[in-house]
Structure 1
Amino acid sequence: MNNLKNYQADKDLLSERVILVTGAGQGIGRAAAIAYATYGATIILHGRKVEKLERVYDDIQALGREEAIIFPFDFEKAVEKDFQAIADAIASQLGRLDGILHNAAFTFGPMPLENHTLEQWQLIMQVNLLAPATLNRVCLPLLKASSDASIIMTSDTHGHEPSAYWGGFAVAKAGVEALVKIQSQEWELLPNLRINALIPGPVHSPQRTKTHPGEIKHLLLQPQDLMRTYLFFMGPDSRGVSGKVVSCQDVR
């Protein structure tokens, strides 16, 4: 952890691992899926829009690495049986799961709490907190069977230090950090399992463009600039590191 700024991943860091990346169609999810594939993993690409996932699939194919799997799925409308179907499909098609990167997110953008409707609260919580928590649970038997499994949750600066006008999104991301700490404590006797949260910070991504349309984009970091951290926390070099909330901006 102390030397993360100088971390260099071995070229076969993720060889023979199966990793699920949610929100893989664009931004950080896309960059992570390609990075993980570059370092040897078989990637399960999750997202809502098939055409975006197909483009990432093609990018991975061009690397000459393991063929990716496309799994389109809408977290907004999902119920218990839908999440279980994902775990069952992974088990039947691939037979293993060694990691999950929870990158899928949703926000309406800044607004005061008094403007949040019940439906908006439910949607924000569903995508940002309930979906990843449920996916972790249904995939747990597969993760337990792995000799070295890692879950990366995605937090946000406004969830880590809640601030006005970030409302339900900040509350959901604060919940993500609580989930990470609780789950890591419950897994203390399971050395093959770990869970951590990463805070990307200001990065040029579609979500950032949605919430900060006036920014000068070329001054922001690119998703690829964060991949050293994403590789460390997904790969075996982070074994024994769990329950951490890490700002990518601090370790790049």
Structure 2
Amino acid sequence: MLSRFSGKVALVTGSSNGIGRAAAVLFAKDGAKVTVTGRNAERLEETRQEILKSGVPESHVLSVATDLAAEKGQDELVNSTIQKFGRLDILVNNAGAAFNDDQGRVGVDQDVSVYDKIMQINMRSVVTLTQKAKEHLVKAKGEIVNVSSIAGTAHAQPGVMYYAMSKSALDQFTRCAAIDLIQYGVRVNSVSPGGVTTGFGEAMGMPSGAFEEMMKFMESRKECIPSGAVAKPIDIANIIAFLADRKLSSYIIGQSIVADGGSTLVLGMNAHNWADLMKQS
């Protein structure tokens, strides 16, 4: 019996850890040939080894350590994928980053250089990589899945303002690209995670363990995560795979699936049980 992605080729950016790694492993286990990529060659090799340990043939995995923010790196990524596998069916734009202001400023006081760095990787690289992959995805009538964030929704995020702006822009890119590319048979969708246990905090420059402590606090507060649980990378990877599986999601075009344990549904004023509070008064 064929696996659901047998004969398909998936390129997953930012796959040296976290959501990208989980998605790459999942695609490979489900029969796809996979290109994994990231800047950290050591962590990227860990991803490759995890894929191989699951029984996937070595010939089904391509590892490309490169800087996705540079178009030269993107050319290398697309060209080497086509050279090795001969096609591209699924592009997962997962790579993303958030940076802190060097002087600890937040909101509108953050230096604009932080904006430039974030938009370069979170938005510009998605646009240019999609452009470079387009001809191959059109040939395959393939799928694009962008990884956004609930930070890009209607709720203000002054602490990570530029990151939130980049994800709002990515959501609009998803919608526009979906209508532009569906005429060629290419579907574009996205997933917007809430809190996920990844190495994202340390990548931002947070002290070791600080991000995990923040996630534990959020789990314990129903006004933060009503479900009481922070997502694991595989939880988001499963949604990515669903959106890349045309048999299951063929009629979903240009949409973003929010996966946040209910976080975006809660306002501070209704996060508590008012009936109980009334009894106490």
Structures share a fold, TM > 0.5?
A: yes
Say yes or no: does 1:247 pair with 2:246. no
1:90 to 68, 81, 85: 81
Q: Flag structure 2 segments of 5+ consecutive residues without an equivalent.
A: 220-228, 263-281
Structure 2 Cα separation of the partners of residues 66 and 149 of structure 1: 23
Q: Which residues in structure 2 correspond to 1:110-121 (within 5 Å)?
A: 112-121=106-115
Say yes or no: does 1:206 pair with 2:173. no
CA apart distance, 1:137: 0.4
Q: Deviations over 1:112-171 (max 9, x none)?
A: 23332232211100110000111010011111110x411111111111224122211111
Say yes or no: does 1:215 pair with 2:214. yes
Q: Larger RCO: Structure 1 or Structure 2 (Cα < 8 Å, ≥ 6 residues apart)?
A: 1
- Equivalent residue, structure 2, for 1:124: 118
Sequence identity (%) = 24
Q: 1:188 to 1:101 in 2, by over 3 A?
A: closer
Structure 2 Cα separation of the partners of residues 90 and 187 of structure 1: 21
Q: Which residues in structure 2 correspond to 1:100-119 (within 5 Å)?
A: 100-109=91-100, 112-119=106-113
Q: Flag structure 1 segments of 5+ consecutive residues without an equivalent.
A: 1-9
| Aligned residue pair count | 238
Q: 1:243 to 1:61 in 2, by over 3 A?
A: same
Kept in 2, the 8 Å contact 1:202–1:208? The answer is: no
Q: Deviations over 1:192-246 (max 9, x none)?
A: x111110121111111565762325484221123333122111222223210011
1:186 to 172, 180, 185: 180
Q: 1:11 to 1:34 in 2, by over 3 A?
A: farther
Structure 1 Cα separation of the partners of residues 201 and 2 of structure 2: 30
Query: Does 58-67 or 48-57 show the bigger shift?
Result: 58-67
Structure 1 Cα separation of the partners of residues 41 and 253 of structure 2: 33
Structure 2 Cα separation of the partners of residues 81 and 215 of structure 1: 37
1:142 to 90, 113, 136: 136
Give the letter aligned to residue 125 of structure 1: M
2:159 to 162, 165, 178: 165
Say yes or no: does 1:231 pair with 2:235. no
3-state SS of paired residue (1:46): strand
Q: TM-score, normalised by structure 1?
A: 0.86
CA apart distance, 1:11: 6.8
Q: 1:223 to 1:82 in 2, by over 3 A?
A: closer
Give the letter aligned to residue 112 of structure 1: V
Q: Deviations over 1:31-78 (max 9, x none)?
A: 1111111101111001011111111111111122243110111134x1
2:26 to 35, 42, 51: 35
Structure 1 Cα separation of the partners of residues 119 and 199 of structure 2: 20
Give the letter aligned to residue 147 of structure 2: T
Say yes or no: does 1:19 pair with 2:16. no
Kept in 2, the 8 Å contact 1:24–1:47? The answer is: yes
3-state SS of paired residue (2:182): coil
Structure 2 Cα separation of the partners of residues 186 and 37 of structure 1: 29
Structure 1 Cα separation of the partners of residues 2 and 29 of structure 2: 8
Give the letter aligned to residue 222 of structure 1: K
Structure 2 Cα separation of the partners of residues 47 and 81 of structure 1: 14
- Equivalent residue, structure 1, for 2:41: 50
